[in-house]
Amino acid sequence: MVLQIGDNLPIGSVRWAIAEGYIPDYSNGPEPQFTSHETACILNTSDQDASVKITIYFSDREPVGPYCVTVPARRTKHLRFNDLTDPEPIPRNTDYASVFESDVPIVVQHTRLDSRQSENALLSTVAYSYR
């Protein structure tokens, strides 16, 4: 089969992990652009909405979740971990990891902005996909 531009074949996986997470408790610069944050960029190329459940893991206590989000079909969602509140806010100054489970294939990318210093640090990496 030869794929043509515009063919809508879903890409990605239904399970992803980000092994590293940390939200500083303060920032430097104007808000909201320079608020220190962690972001999961979620891409859904399928023809159906993706129901995504996120579980947060800690080094010193039981996991929290699921945090439930929907990524519409053929769309992307940039989800700040700072904004997750249900079932509870993600704590600041705390190491954590996250697992994403979706009912359709998605792609997850992790981005962090650390603006504790005036010389901001930004990192981004694709999450780990597993079956």
d(CA 112, CA 37): 6
| Contacts of 58-66 spanning 24+ positions with Cβ under 8 A | 58/94, 58/95, 58/96, 59/95, 64/88, 66/101
Residue 57, Cβ neighbours under 10 Å: how many? 18
Residue type, 13: S
Instruction: Indicate the domain borders of the chain.
Output: 13-129
Verdict on whether the full-model pTM lies above 0.85: no
**What's the confidence (pLDDT) of residue 93?**
83
pLDDT tens string for the chain (131 positions)?
444 555 667 799 999 998 887 677 655 555 555 555 578 899 999 999 999 999 999 999 999 999 999 999 999 999 988 889 999 998 888 888 999 999 999 999 887 555 444 554 545 456 657 66
Q: What is the pLDDT of residue 64?
A: 97
The predicted structure's pLDDT at residue 90: 87
Q: 101 near 41, Cβ under 8 Å?
A: no
